[in-house]
Structure 1
Amino acid sequence: MGESLVTTQEDRTAATPSPVADGRTVSGSTRATPLSRMRRARPTLRSLRSPRRPRLWFEILLIAVSYWLYSLVRNAVPEQKAEALRNADWIWSLEHTFGLAFEESVNRAVNSVTWLIVSMNYYYATLHFIVTIGVLIWLFRRHPGRYAAARLILFATTAVALLGYYVFPLAPPRLMRGGGFVDTVMLHQTWGSMASGNFKHMSNQYAAMPSMHIGWSLWCGLTICVLATAPWARILGALYPVATLIVIVATANHFWLDAVGGMACLAFGITLSYAWYGSLPHRLPKRVQRPGAGRLRALRRPPARAPELRRGAEPSQPGARGSDPAGD
């Protein structure tokens, strides 16, 4: 007869996994050791830092809440009028020192062309919302793998700007004492600034540094220039922040140094996004898979078929006739 299989009590004990090594109790419940918890945390952090496919409902909610918080915090900064006016005088004298105090000349020259200054008023009031939202939608649809990194740049840029509003209150040129600037919105009665006319009590008038018109427009321009394929789109992307700089100066809503502050905020946002994702947005993959798509595809894939046996050949199985050397 063939050799019989005998399992002793010692063999059963040796085959039973140790509760300490396996991390389980006798009843089968799992106890996570500190080492196992660390191993679980690492993939979670890695997954957060990896590009993921954005979800529409979450992005709409995030943008709405973020802008609401931005407006709330910006307007909650105390309007330190005296300090803001002193800072405006200091900025104006600093620009004179460098021979770059050209805002008043541009403001008066453009104001002499009514249709042009009115167009700039509406540009100032609307395009920084329309274009920024439009670029976010374009990224969401065409570059979902790069969307989160680009969005982080925009959000970080805006967040650090709030610190600037609190630390350095600044009056815009049109509110300076004896500056000679023209408030183009008041003069032409256009809806061009939340800090002029009937809307001046709804917004903090002394939060001019840094300029988020420049921070957002430069983010839009750079994003379009590095990701768009059409030459005309790249040209428009490059011209957009330049046109915005002209508008904020011509309408006397900002000094050109406010634009430098907006650029510094954008640089901070780019640095933070690079540190988190380990790459600039345009170097990340254009598209990413949905979470669990790889596992779902693997489950749907039919199992691999075993190679067919040659005709006449019998399988070699333990216990089949002729396979046991001991015989019957």
Structure 2
Amino acid sequence: MASDTMSRRALAPRRAARKPRVVMAVREIAFLVAAALAYSLVRGVTSDRVDAAFRNAEDVISFEKSLGIHVETELQGLILDHGWAVDLANGFYIYGYWPVFVLTLIWLIVRRPVAYPFYRNALLASGALSLVIFALYPLAPPRFLPWHGFVDTVTLEATTYREMNSPTFVNEYAAMPSLHFGWILLLGIALVALARHFVVRIIGAVMPVLMFAAIVLTGNHYVVDALVGGAVVVAGLGIAVTIERVKRGRAVRAAIADARENVAPAGDEGVAPASDGASTIPAQRSPGNLSQVR
């Protein structure tokens, strides 16, 4: 009985420490969900530029051909005759995004709370940059251009997903950048950098590769979309680094100011003020010391 009581007492502080993390997790997830909804609504504001989106799509295809990276239809051709491969691509495109996104953020909040603000800032910064690109450069996804040989595998095999992503809330002409790839890349970086288990780090390294394949094989994004998505995330990380440096600089300056305020009075304690140019003499002395001075 005594041992059980002691073990419960030992676990109590741990449980108490977990409660603030749970509250933080709920608060942060609610905040990010609200940001994601706002992102979708703002993203939808630019959905009326259809003609420009299709013109830009033709330009992107020409640009990729000039670089020799227009391989989307060739890659799709490798899986279209294999239902299991199409299902895998569709499945990872659908379930490898939001579920992974939310679970990884929860892991960061609960298990790596110190590092979480850095990745949250990178996430929000990359999202803000993406909104600017969406507004300036509307782009029709490959699945809207079947005359180029693209196939919308998700619509063919997973119509429910398309119905859930209503054009009312989702701008279908915002293919660039691909945050499906970019944000999974960001969270993969977090897992590789922060996870202790080797298997989790491997998962973090493989996730972006699989998502890159999924967005291309399903006809949802061009190769260039993924490259720009990665560049936006790198820029977001750069902004997050800058924010951390500013915060640390402020913390250092505050610590220095606080130290000066505390040290200055301490240096004056026990010293009597000097008068008529006489040297300072300790204000308090023992009788023995006074006799020695005499």
- Judging changes above 3 Å, is the alpha-carbon distance between structure 1 residues 55 and 194 closer, same or farther for their aligned structure 2 residues? same
The answer on whether the counterparts of 2:40 and 2:171 sit within 8 Å (CA) in structure 1 is: no
SS in 1 for 2:147: coil
Return the structure number with greater helix share. Answer: 2
Q: What is the one-letter code of the residue matched to 1:219?
A: L
Alignment partner of 2:227 out of 260, 284, 291: 260
Structure 2 unaligned regions, length at least 5: 1-20, 247-283, 285-290
Cα distance in 1 for partners of 2:74, 2:174 equals 23
Q: What is the one-letter code of the residue matched to 2:99?
A: I
- Judging changes above 3 Å, is the alpha-carbon distance between structure 1 residues 101 and 173 closer, same or farther for their aligned structure 2 residues? same
How far 1:202 moved relative to its partner? Answer: 4.5
Write out per-residue CA displacement over residues 256-305 of structure 1, whole angstroms, 9 at most, x where no aligned residue: 100111111111211111111129xxxxxxxxxxxxxxxxxxxxxxxxxx
- How many matched pairs? 231
Equivalent in the alignment of 1:208 = 175
- Judging changes above 3 Å, is the alpha-carbon distance between structure 1 residues 95 and 134 closer, same or farther for their aligned structure 2 residues? same
Alignment partner of 1:78 out of 35, 47, 51: 47
Structure 1 unaligned regions, length at least 5: 1-51, 280-317, 319-324
SS in 1 for 2:91: helix
Equivalent in the alignment of 1:95 = 64
SS in 1 for 2:110: helix
- Judging changes above 3 Å, is the alpha-carbon distance between structure 1 residues 173 and 130 closer, same or farther for their aligned structure 2 residues? same
How far 1:110 moved relative to its partner? Answer: 1.5
Cα distance in 1 for partners of 2:225, 2:88 equals 22
Cα distance in 1 for partners of 2:162, 2:214 equals 12
Equivalent in the alignment of 1:303 = none
Residue 193 of structure 2 is aligned to residue 226 of structure 1: yes
Cα distance in 2 for partners of 1:189, 1:201 equals 19
Cα distance in 1 for partners of 2:105, 2:244 equals 18
Q: How does 1:11-26 map to 2 (within 5 A)?
A: none
Alignment partner of 1:248 out of 202, 206, 215: 215
Q: Cα RMSD (Å) of the superposition?
A: 2.6
Alignment partner of 2:74 out of 105, 113, 122: 105
How far 1:54 moved relative to its partner? Answer: 8.2
SS in 2 for 1:278: helix
Equivalent in the alignment of 2:142 = 173
Alignment partner of 1:64 out of 33, 47, 52: 33
Q: How does 1:1-328 map to 2 (within 5 A)?
A: 55-176=24-145, 178-193=147-162, 199-200=166-167, 202-278=169-245
SS in 2 for 1:131: helix
Cα distance in 1 for partners of 2:125, 2:226 equals 17
Cα distance in 2 for partners of 1:152, 1:194 equals 31
Q: What is the one-letter code of the residue matched to 1:183?
A: D
SS in 2 for 1:207: coil
Write out per-residue CA displacement over residues 106-163 of structure 1, whole angstroms, 9 at most, x where no aligned residue: 1122222112212322321232111111111111111111111111111111121111
Cα distance in 2 for partners of 1:201, 1:119 equals 28
How far 1:191 moved relative to its partner? Answer: 3.5
Cα distance in 2 for partners of 1:111, 1:188 equals 11
- Judging changes above 3 Å, is the alpha-carbon distance between structure 1 residues 79 and 112 closer, same or farther for their aligned structure 2 residues? farther
The answer on whether the counterparts of 2:22 and 2:110 sit within 8 Å (CA) in structure 1 is: no
Cα distance in 1 for partners of 2:164, 2:54 equals 15
The answer on whether the counterparts of 1:74 and 1:204 sit within 8 Å (CA) in structure 2 is: yes
- Judging changes above 3 Å, is the alpha-carbon distance between structure 1 residues 205 and 53 closer, same or farther for their aligned structure 2 residues? closer
Equivalent in the alignment of 1:23 = none
Q: What is the one-letter code of the residue matched to 1:116?
A: A
Q: What is the one-letter code of the residue matched to 1:85?
A: F
SS in 2 for 1:145: coil
- Judging changes above 3 Å, is the alpha-carbon distance between structure 1 residues 182 and 108 closer, same or farther for their aligned structure 2 residues? same
How far 1:189 moved relative to its partner? Answer: 4.2
Query: Which region of structure 1 is more displaced relative to structure 2, 104-113 or 266-275?
Result: 104-113
SS in 1 for 2:115: helix
The percent identity for this pair of structures is: 33
Cα distance in 2 for partners of 1:73, 1:202 equals 9
Cα distance in 2 for partners of 1:119, 1:192 equals 15
Equivalent in the alignment of 1:41 = none
Cα distance in 2 for partners of 1:195, 1:83 equals 26
Q: What is the one-letter code of the residue matched to 2:45?
A: A
